[in-house]
């Protein structure tokens, strides 16, 4: 039971982890990208579109290289879609110096709308009975995981090995590659941000672009790269959700408010990707814990879903009262940089 | 470029007799900002293993000149030579390449980074190995005698530590031409001594060092040669060993310029209007910026306040205006209407107004504090008066007629009263601000640097306005930087030095032996006794000259 | 040496940006008009690519969907009114440079309060009294929701953007919680139309026009806001605080008090909007009662440069685009989210065009250096 819960919590947390890792990278460059929810939608629909047409082309999914190709195509389409969104945001806020909040919110409206629009169009094309697009084959490629976990579970059921071993293996090793990849990316991001020159420079850009500029850093280039890279990572969260968590079923607004939850997670994890890993599992757990508490009323479930936001608020308040500088948002978050304004 | 065009003033530039080439040489540099000439035809040079002081009053163009060497500005004309080669420095990056490092007055550091992280920011030299960098930082510290923990975060640092980080930052990049812009302005005397020892060690190490300052004793104790600027022009270069404070002051303040500002005698029935007693004020870092300030501003006089920038002028005016928290001391206003003595200590500007104190204040930061740049002239008129009248609504008719009156009376050049003040030129902005402050019929009028950046005609408009107010019996407090103006306009001049009063001068009385301007100039840089020990070598001459000083 | 030589011949940057602030209004207006036209053009191209409609057909469909029948016209104006009302709500805070992006939550919590009154007090109070109670409580609820982040901003400088953003979702979940409690039938997660027979707590309709009162209230609010912001002492203080806190202190404005007061007003107007949504139009509450209008309102307010009168135009434009695009989707069988895409196109164009209003692009040539 508890292992089952942890497993689901992790799977629930992975999209959030992608989203918040992407957003942390973006925010470290000083740009508050409120378009993340839209970008995650676009990442999801990008993968769905790629997968859909590849499946429609009648490729033989029994062949291993076709399966690899299916994954690659979906990945590519997903990354392309979210990168384009990131570029649009950058162009407007970095080059044209538009207000970040307004641009981000517009991007979210646009991204969610575009996601639902293309999804809805695919539903129409596929003439399905239910309002969903189902990519069973592509999804099965994405959700492939290590076989020995299943074998172990089977042998545990048959009493051949300890149940606890099978359960632990299931919690640790039963996820698809994108789930592990999210942790890898978060760890790499944490390492790059704190331990490398690139990270130092990026943080400098977000903390004080004028200082970074004076130190000979190309501020705008860093902002562009960080935002686009962040968008692509966030987009993967959408892709994971559809392809693995939702088993390849796209439905309108199915992704829900996970995008905003990712933004909350950024604050909760104090702009540190490694903390975001733990935070994402915690948030994921809170998101589904109501299913595991017996006899919980429907209304109480909703209060549980509120808890990640409340916790984030508490962290935000606590940090600002404590004035611990490292835990505060990047000093120039949300402010565009124009050299001649110093 | 050949060497043909080096017309020299003083011991300007060129190859030394022993064949050494200057590390950096400026030839006929001119830079203008719009109408204002910041630097005109300036030539100077510095050799390796030498410390050159660039001396000049505020606004003499020192910082502008140095900013051209460090790539922040680009000269309108003139040449910069490094080791005899003409170079083009268009960005700080170019300056790095020529191993020029500038330590600005305002530090460019990132608060949440450690010393080392700040030092290596923007550097690209292979592997990023923080511990190794820390070792190198430590090495530099040991070599020159800096005291700095490489792991300390900037937000935990004192001002002097931050400055150390800035200096190490340029050394780390291998800079061998160092420019320090007023490095001692923010330091205590002990910290200053420590810095000078470091600089001397760097000189021994063969670095070329330029230090911008207006403190004479520092110049004398530290530098090998001194180049003096005055009002954007190059006056000359002298060898430090062959000069003294008085000679330098003469060069720095320049010839007395007759401005023909009309000055009437203060009325016989002049009464104390504002009495300040033992005022002490600390800044955010907990450092005392005003120490035991006591003076009386009389009605019907202009009290000038002289001093090098950052000697506490701003804090003094702001604490009177109710914008600064006092540590201790008293501010008393004698109300001419009621005869009552009002205590202004730690009252907000609004409370001061409600007491019936007619205090007007023209702050230094015109568009950031005195006016709202994005609002039109009418709305800016209302800043002081909008609360007047009953009800929720604003009364724009009175401000509108006031705006029209000021535009007409002071000759403000504007497309109309509805033009945002941001779009007006500096002089017109100032006329709007001063006009508004005078319109409320003040009994005390405080003005900070009212003619900074103004052309000559606008300046005279302002002087006349101040004189008019004085003749009406207003007590005017005038913080200025141009000594000529202070001497011709004011009835008394209070000189501030590092947050203390170093003397009060009567500009109608000519001192013996030196000019009035020199006397004030010396008081401005004088150390008031009872503070800290001064570096050896400069003290005797300074206290000998400063007769008016508040000795104990 | 070679490095230096190469260096000398590098040009000054070709493109140089400079702030400008003296663009005549007519020119700024022209730039914005071009941007909107460009947005519509992109829409037409996109529409042509997707469904193969000619631009004239697309524009015609949009006009028909918005102005075609009397019902459509009423609907258009009602949508404009609610959006405008929320835009008015966020504006005072924005003028103060307080980035309140919590209008969604502030309005929703007011919707919930209104609905709660209708459910709990519907049969206990006479309708006029009930309406008054609903109005007062909704406004109070919106105010509280706005005041919480304001307090933290004023005293601890807590980032208000992130704070108000989180408050939105707390409001959503609280609403969801109560919807389950009050759902009809139990556990369905829907409240359904409240008091469908007694109509208690329903805002009375003027004549046969159910939405007229909403529209009238919003018109009054628009004018009131305009006067408040431009001709009242409070509005003036808001502008001064927004422009420069230093100036505000110089003339003795209590900055904290202004922040708190202004956010109260913001929240109160959101509360009013919530009341109008529930009592005047929906007669129920769902978690999507505000439907993202709280976010759209931020764009409206910003596009209009925080001017209430200009906001009425932008609110109308967005409502028009939404409804017009919806008409295209019904006629062509496209997914209804087409509307969001169209709105997105136009908004991106306007956001982008602000650059050309605020900045001057100077082309700099090498000769300039040698004058």
Question: A residues 82-121 near C, CB within 8 Å?
Answer: 88, 91-92, 95-99, 101-103, 105-110, 112-121
∠ CA B482-B485-B490, rounded to 5°:
120
CB within 8 Å: B382 and C247: no
Question: C residues 242-301 near A, CB within 8 Å?
Answer: 292, 295-296, 298-299
Confidence band of B18 (pLDDT split at 50, 70, 90): low
A97-155 pLDDT per residue, tens: 899 999 999 999 999 999 999 988 888 888 777 778 888 888 888 888 888 888 888 88
CB within 8 Å: A110 and C341: yes
What distance in Å separates the CA atoms of residue B94 and residue A69, rounded to the nearest whole number? 49
CB within 8 Å: C337 and A260: no
**Cα distance between the two ends of chain A:** 59
pLDDT at B295: 92
Nearest CA distance, A323 vs chain C (angstrom): 9
Interface test with chain C among B82, B84, B88, by most C beta carbons within 10 Å? B88
Nearest CA distance, B324 vs chain A (angstrom): 23
Q: Is B507 helix (H, G, I), strand (E, B) or coil?
A: coil
C-beta separation of C350 from C32 below 8 A? yes
**A6 in contact with chain C, both atoms CB, cutoff 8 A:** no
pLDDT at C363: 65
Average pLDDT on B161-165 reads 91
Has residue A161 been placed in a domain?
no
Q: Residue A199 is part of which domain span?
A: 8-145+176-341
**C304 in contact with chain A, both atoms CB, cutoff 8 A:** no
**C176 in contact with chain A, both atoms CB, cutoff 8 A:** yes
C-beta separation of B461 from B485 below 8 A? no
What distance in Å separates the CA atoms of residue B36 and residue A246, rounded to the nearest whole number? 68
B&C contacts, CB < 8 Å:
72
Q: What is the mean pLDDT of chain C?
A: 87
Residue found by looking up tokens 């203008």 in the block? B32
Confidence band of A84 (pLDDT split at 50, 70, 90): very high
User: In this model, does residue B33 exceed pLDDT 80?
Assistant: no
C-beta separation of A298 from C187 below 8 A? yes
pLDDT at C1: 37
pLDDT at B413: 85
Residue of chain A with shortest Cα separation from C187? A298
What distance in Å separates the CA atoms of residue A109 and residue C299, rounded to the nearest whole number? 11
C-beta separation of B98 from B89 below 8 A? yes
Chains in contact with C, counting 3 or more C-beta pairs less than 8 Å apart as contact: A, B
pLDDT at C84: 95
Q: Is A132 helix (H, G, I), strand (E, B) or coil?
A: strand
Average pLDDT on B465-474 reads 91
pLDDT at C280: 86
User: In this model, does residue B14 exceed pLDDT 80?
Assistant: no
User: In this model, does residue B12 exceed pLDDT 50?
Assistant: no
CB within 8 Å: C177 and A302: yes
CATH of the domain at C211: 1.10.3470.10
Q: Which helix (H) or strand (E) holds B335?
A: none
User: In this model, does residue B552 exceed pLDDT 90?
Assistant: no
B38 vs B59, B231, B307, CA distance in Å? 8, 8, 21
Query: Any idea of the CA torsion for A295, A300, A306, A312, to the nearest 10 degrees?
Result: -70
Has residue C285 been placed in a domain?
yes
pLDDT at B539: 36
CB within 8 Å: C21 and B348: no
User: In this model, does residue C8 exceed pLDDT 60?
Assistant: no
Interface of B with A (CB under 8 A): 91-93, 96, 108-113, 117, 120-124, 128, 130, 153, 155
**C123 in contact with chain B, both atoms CB, cutoff 8 A:** no
CATH of the domain at A328: 1.10.3470
Nearest CA distance, A97 vs chain C (angstrom): 7
CB within 8 Å: A200 and B108: no
What distance in Å separates the CA atoms of residue A243 and residue A324, rounded to the nearest whole number? 40
A259-295 pLDDT per residue, tens: 988 998 998 899 999 999 999 999 999 888 888 887 7
pLDDT at B152: 93
Has residue A244 been placed in a domain?
yes
Average pLDDT on A59-76 reads 89
User: In this model, does residue B392 exceed pLDDT 80?
Assistant: yes
pLDDT at B117: 93
Percent of chain B with pLDDT over 90: 30
| pLDDT, greater one: A167 or C178 | C178
What distance in Å separates the CA atoms of residue A20 and residue A261, rounded to the nearest whole number? 9
B249 vs A325, B215, B222, B259, C118, CA distance in Å? 46, 10, 17, 20, 84
Has residue C150 been placed in a domain?
yes
pLDDT at B543: 37
| pLDDT, greater one: B189 or A115 | A115
CB within 8 Å: B383 and C4: no
**Taking CB atoms and an 8 Å cutoff, what residues of chain A touch B93?**
216
Domains in chain B with CATH codes: 24-253 (3.40.50.300), 272-358+442-545 (3.40.50.300), 375-440 (no CATH)
Which one of A196, A211, A216 has the shortest CB-CB distance to B109? A211
Average pLDDT on B517-544 reads 57
Q: Which of A223-237, A282-296, B398-412, C337-351 has the lowest mean pLDDT?
A: A282-296
CB within 8 Å: C233 and B90: no
Interface test with chain C among A84, A88, A107, A117, by most C beta carbons within 10 Å? A117
For residue B189, report the phi and psi dihedrals to the nearest 5 degrees.
Answer: -55, -40
The encoded tokens of residue A65 equal 């290289």
Among B191, B170, B194, which residue's Cα sits nearest to residue B180?
B170
Domain count for chain C: 1
Confidence band of A340 (pLDDT split at 50, 70, 90): low
B85-103 pLDDT per residue, tens: 899 888 777 888 899 988 8
The encoded tokens of residue C309 equal 């009168």
pLDDT at B62: 84
Has residue C215 been placed in a domain?
yes
CB within 8 Å: C298 and A101: yes
What distance in Å separates the CA atoms of residue C265 and residue A308, rounded to the nearest whole number? 29
Q: Residue C249 is part of which domain span?
A: 74-332
What distance in Å separates the CA atoms of residue C127 and residue C118, rounded to the nearest whole number? 10
pTM attached to this predicted model: 0.84
C262-304 pLDDT per residue, tens: 999 999 999 999 999 998 888 999 988 898 899 999 999 998 9
Has residue A271 been placed in a domain?
yes
Q: C25-51 vs C308-332: helix axis angle to the nearest 10?
A: 10
What distance in Å separates the CA atoms of residue C142 and residue C165, rounded to the nearest whole number? 15
User: In this model, does residue C233 exceed pLDDT 70?
Assistant: yes
State the alpha helices, DSSP H only, in chain C: 2-8, 25-51, 55-67, 70-95, 103-121, 127-156, 160-182, 212-231, 233-243, 245-250, 255-275, 293-303, 308-332, 338-358
Nearest CA distance, C19 vs chain A (angstrom): 8
Has residue A165 been placed in a domain?
no
Half-sphere exposure of B434 (CA within 13 A, CB side): 31
**C56 in contact with chain B, both atoms CB, cutoff 8 A:** no
Has residue C299 been placed in a domain?
yes
Average pLDDT on B209-234 reads 86
User: In this model, does residue B550 exceed pLDDT 50?
Assistant: no
Percent of chain C with pLDDT over 90: 51
For B67-120, the DSSP string reads HHHTTSS--SEEEEEETTEEE---SHHHHHHTTEEEE-SS----TTSBHHHHHH
Has residue A305 been placed in a domain?
yes
> CB C132: neighbour CB atoms within 10 A?
12
Q: What is the mean pLDDT of chain B?
A: 83
Q: Which of A22-31, A121-130, B42-51, B305-314 has the lowest mean pLDDT?
A: A121-130
pLDDT at B217: 78
Nearest CA distance, A36 vs chain C (angstrom): 13
Average pLDDT on B354-368 reads 88
C-beta separation of A193 from A206 below 8 A? no
| pLDDT, greater one: A5 or C207 | A5
Has residue A209 been placed in a domain?
yes
CB within 8 Å: C252 and B374: no
Domain count for chain A: 1
Confidence band of A313 (pLDDT split at 50, 70, 90): very high
Confidence band of C15 (pLDDT split at 50, 70, 90): low
pLDDT at B528: 67
Which one of C12, C232, C243 has the shortest CB-CB distance to B392? C232
Q: Which of A11-25, A53-67, B451-465, C77-91 has the lowest mean pLDDT?
A: B451-465
User: In this model, does residue C139 exceed pLDDT 80?
Assistant: yes
Sign of the C-alpha dihedral, residues C38, C44, C45, C46?
Answer: positive
Which one of B349, B387, B423 has the shortest CB-CB distance to C233? B387
Residue of chain C with shortest Cα separation from A92? C352
pLDDT at C16: 66
CB within 8 Å: B153 and A325: yes
CB within 8 Å: C12 and B422: no
Sign of the C-alpha dihedral, residues C245, C248, C254, C257?
Answer: negative
pLDDT at B3: 36
Among C287, C280, C282, C290, which residue's Cα sits nearest to residue C131?
C280
The encoded tokens of residue B341 equal 């003595």
Q: What strands, in cross-sheet order, belong to the sheet with B341-343?
A: B288-298, B272-282, B328-334, B341-343
Question: B residues 225-284 near C, CB within 8 Å?
Answer: none
With a CB cutoff of 8 Å and minimum separation 6, the contacts of C71 are none
The encoded tokens of residue C313 equal 């135009």
What distance in Å separates the CA atoms of residue B322 and residue B348, rounded to the nearest whole number? 5
CB within 8 Å: C252 and B322: yes
Nearest CA distance, C326 vs chain B (angstrom): 41
User: In this model, does residue C230 exceed pLDDT 50?
Assistant: yes
Residue of chain B with shortest Cα separation from C245? B369
pLDDT at C145: 96
User: In this model, does residue C4 exceed pLDDT 50?
Assistant: no
Which one of B93, B109, B113 has the shortest CB-CB distance to A216? B93
Has residue C343 been placed in a domain?
no
Confidence band of B257 (pLDDT split at 50, 70, 90): low
**Taking CB atoms and an 8 Å cutoff, what residues of chain C touch A301?**
180
CB within 8 Å: B375 and C243: yes
Residue of chain A with shortest Cα separation from B127? A197
Confidence band of C3 (pLDDT split at 50, 70, 90): very low
Which one of A195, A203, A215 has the shortest CB-CB distance to B122? A215
Has residue C273 been placed in a domain?
yes
B420-453 pLDDT per residue, tens: 888 887 788 888 999 999 988 899 999 998 887 7
**C21 in contact with chain B, both atoms CB, cutoff 8 A:** yes
Which one of B96, B128, B155 has the shortest CB-CB distance to A216? B96
Nearest CA distance, A118 vs chain C (angstrom): 8
Q: Is B41 helix (H, G, I), strand (E, B) or coil?
A: strand
Q: Is B308 helix (H, G, I), strand (E, B) or coil?
A: coil
Confidence band of A314 (pLDDT split at 50, 70, 90): very high
CB within 8 Å: A121 and C335: yes
CB within 8 Å: B394 and C236: yes
């Amino acid at each position: 039971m508890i292992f089952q819960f942890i497993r689901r919590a992790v799977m629930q947390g992975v999209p959030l982890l992608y989203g918040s890792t992407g957003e942390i990278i973006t925010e470290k460059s000083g740009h508050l990208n409120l378009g993340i929810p839209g970008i995650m939608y676009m990442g999801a629909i990008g993968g769905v579109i790629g997968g859909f047409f590849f499946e429609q082309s009648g490729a033989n999914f029994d062949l291993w290289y076709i399966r690899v190709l299916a994954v690659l195509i979906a990945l590519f389409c997903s990354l392309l879609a979210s990168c384009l969104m990131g570029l649009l945001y950058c162009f407007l806020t970095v080059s044209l110096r538009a207000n970040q909040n307004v641009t981000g919110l517009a991007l979210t409206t646009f991204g969610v709308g575009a996601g639902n629009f293309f999804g809805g169009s695919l539903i129409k094309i596929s003439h399905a009975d239910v309002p969903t697009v189902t990519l069973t084959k592509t999804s099965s490629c994405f959700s492939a995981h290590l076989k020995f976990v299943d074998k172990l579970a089977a042998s545990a059921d048959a009493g051949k090995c300890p149940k606890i071993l099978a359960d632990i293996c299931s919690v640790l090793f039963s996820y698809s590659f994108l789930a592990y990849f999210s942790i890898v990316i978060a760890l790499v991001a944490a390492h790059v941000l704190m331990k490398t020159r690139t990270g130092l420079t990026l943080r400098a850009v977000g903390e004080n672009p004028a200082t970074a500029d004076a130190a000979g850093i190309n501020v705008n280039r860093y902002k562009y790269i960080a935002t686009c890279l962040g968008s692509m990572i966030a987009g993967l969260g959408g892709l994971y959700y559809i392809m693995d968590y939702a088993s390849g079923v796209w439905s309108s607004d199915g992704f829900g408010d996970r995008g905003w939850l990712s933004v909350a997670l950024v604050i909760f994890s104090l702009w540190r990707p490694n903390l975001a890993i733990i935070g994402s599992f915690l948030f994921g757990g809170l998101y589904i814990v109501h299913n595991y508490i017996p006899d919980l009323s429907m209304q109480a479930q909703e209060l549980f879903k509120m808890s990640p936001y409340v916790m984030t608020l508490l962290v935000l308040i606590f940090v600002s009262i404590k004035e611990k500088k490292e835990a505060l948002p990047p000093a120039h978050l949300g402010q565009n940089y124009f050299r001649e304004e110093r | 470029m050949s060497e043909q065009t080096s017309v020299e003033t003083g011991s300007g530039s060129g190859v030394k007799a022993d064949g050494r080439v200057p590390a950096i040489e400026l030839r006929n540099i001119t830079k203008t900002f719009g109408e204002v000439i910041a630097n005109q035809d300036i030539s100077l040079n510095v050799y390796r293993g030498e410390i050159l002081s660039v001396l000049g009053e505020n606004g003499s163009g020192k910082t502008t000149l140095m900013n051209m060497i460090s790539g922040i500005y680009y000269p309108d004309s003139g040449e910069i030579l490094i080791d005899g080669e003409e170079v083009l420095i268009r960005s700080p990056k170019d300056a790095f390449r020529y191993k020029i490092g500038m330590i600005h007055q305002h530090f460019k550091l990132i608060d949440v980074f450690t010393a080392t992280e700040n030092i290596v920011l923007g550097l690209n030299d292979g592997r990023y190995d923080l511990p190794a960098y820390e070792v190198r930082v430590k090495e530099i510290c040991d070599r020159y005698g800096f005291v700095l923990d490489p792991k300390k975060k900037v937000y935990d640092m004192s001002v002097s530590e931050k400055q150390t980080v800035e200096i190490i930052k340029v050394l780390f990049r291998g800079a061998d031409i160092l420019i320090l812009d007023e490095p001692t302005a923010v330091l205590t005397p002990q910290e200053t001594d420590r810095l000078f020892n470091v600089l001397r060690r760097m000189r021994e190490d063969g670095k070329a060092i330029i230090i911008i300052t207006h403190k004479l004793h520092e110049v004398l104790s530290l530098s090998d040669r001194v180049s003096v600027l005055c009002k954007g022009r190059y006056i000359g270069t002298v060898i430090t060993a062959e000069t003294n404070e008085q000679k330098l002051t003469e060069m720095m303040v320049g010839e007395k310029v007759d401005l023909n500002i009309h000055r009437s005698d203060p009325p016989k029935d002049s009464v104390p209007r504002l009495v300040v007693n033992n005022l002490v004020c600390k800044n955010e870092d907990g450092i005392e910026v005003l120490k035991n300030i006591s003076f009386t501003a009389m009605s019907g006089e202009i009290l000038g306040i002289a001093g090098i920038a950052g000697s506490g002028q701003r804090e003094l005016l702001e604490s009177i205006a109710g914008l600064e928290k006092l540590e201790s001391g008293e501010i008393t206003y004698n109300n001419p209407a009621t005869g009552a003595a009002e205590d202004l200590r730690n009252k907000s500007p609004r409370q001061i107004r409600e007491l019936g104190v007619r205090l007007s204040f023209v702050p230094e930061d015109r568009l950031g504090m005195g006016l709202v740049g994005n609002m039109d002239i009418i709305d800016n008129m209302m800043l002081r008066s909008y609360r007047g009248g009953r009800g929720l609504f604003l009364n724009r008719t009175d401000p509108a007629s006031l705006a029209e009156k000021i535009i007409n009376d002071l000759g403000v050049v504007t497309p109309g009263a509805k033009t945002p003040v941001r779009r007006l030129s500096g002089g017109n902005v100032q006329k709007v601000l001063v006009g508004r402050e005078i319109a409320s019929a003040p009994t005390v009028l405080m003005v900070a640097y009212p003619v900074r950046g103004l052309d000559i005609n606008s300046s005279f408009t302002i002087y006349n306005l101040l004189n008019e107010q004085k003749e009406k019996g207003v007590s005017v407090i005038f913080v200025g930087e141009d000594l000529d103006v202070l001497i011709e306009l004011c009835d008394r001049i209070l000189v501030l030095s590092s947050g203390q009063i170093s003397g009060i001068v009567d500009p109608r009385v000519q001192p013996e032996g030196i000019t009035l301007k020199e006397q004030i100039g010396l008081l401005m840089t004088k150390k008031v006794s009872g503070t800290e020990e001064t570096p050896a070598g400069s003290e005797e001459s300074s206290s000998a000259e400063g007769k008016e000083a508040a000795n104990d | 040496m070679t490095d230096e030589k190469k260096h000398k011949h590098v040009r000054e940057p070709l493109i140089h940006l400079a702030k400008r602030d003296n663009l005549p209004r007519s020119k700024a207006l022209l730039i914005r008009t071009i941007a909107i036209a460009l947005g519509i053009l992109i829409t037409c191209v996109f529409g042509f690519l997707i469904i193969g409609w000619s631009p004239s057909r697309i524009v015609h469909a949009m006009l028909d969907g918005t102005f075609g029948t009397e019902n459509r016209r009423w609907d258009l104006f009602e949508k404009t009114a609610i959006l405008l009302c929320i835009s008015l709500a966020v504006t005072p805070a924005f003028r103060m440079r307080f980035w309140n992006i919590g209008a969604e939550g502030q309005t929703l919590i007011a919707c919930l309060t209104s609905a709660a009154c209708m459910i709990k007090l519907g049969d206990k109070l006479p309708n006029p009294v009930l309406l008054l109670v609903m109005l007062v409580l909704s406004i109070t609820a919106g105010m509280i929701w706005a005041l919480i982040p304001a307090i933290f901003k004023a005293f601890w400088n807590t980032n208000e953007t992130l704070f108000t953003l989180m408050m939105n979702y707390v409001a959503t979940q609280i609403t969801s919680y109560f919807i389950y409690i009050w759902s009809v039938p139990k556990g369905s997660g829907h409240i359904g139309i409240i008091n469908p027979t007694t109509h208690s707590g329903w805002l009375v309709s003027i004549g046969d026009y159910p939405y007229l009162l909403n529209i009238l209230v919003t018109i009054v609010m628009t004018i009131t806001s305009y006067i408040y912001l431009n001709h009242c002492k409070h509005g003036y203080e808001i502008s001064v605080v927004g422009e420069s806190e230093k100036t505000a202190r110089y003339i003795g404005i209590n900055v904290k008090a202004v922040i708190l007061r202004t956010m109260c007003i913001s929240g109160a107007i959101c509360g009013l909007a919530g009341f109008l949504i529930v009592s005047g139009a929906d007669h129920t509450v769902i978690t999507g009662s505000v439907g993202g209008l709280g976010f759209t309102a931020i764009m409206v307010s910003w596009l209009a440069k925080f001017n209430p009168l200009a906001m009425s135009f932008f609110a109308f434009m967005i409502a028009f685009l939404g409804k017009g695009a919806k008409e295209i989707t019904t006629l062509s069988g496209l997914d209804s989210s087409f509307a969001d895409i169209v709105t997105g196109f136009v908004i991106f164009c306007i956001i982008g065009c602000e650059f050309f209003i605020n900045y001057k692009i100077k082309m700099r040539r090498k000769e300039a250096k040698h004058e």
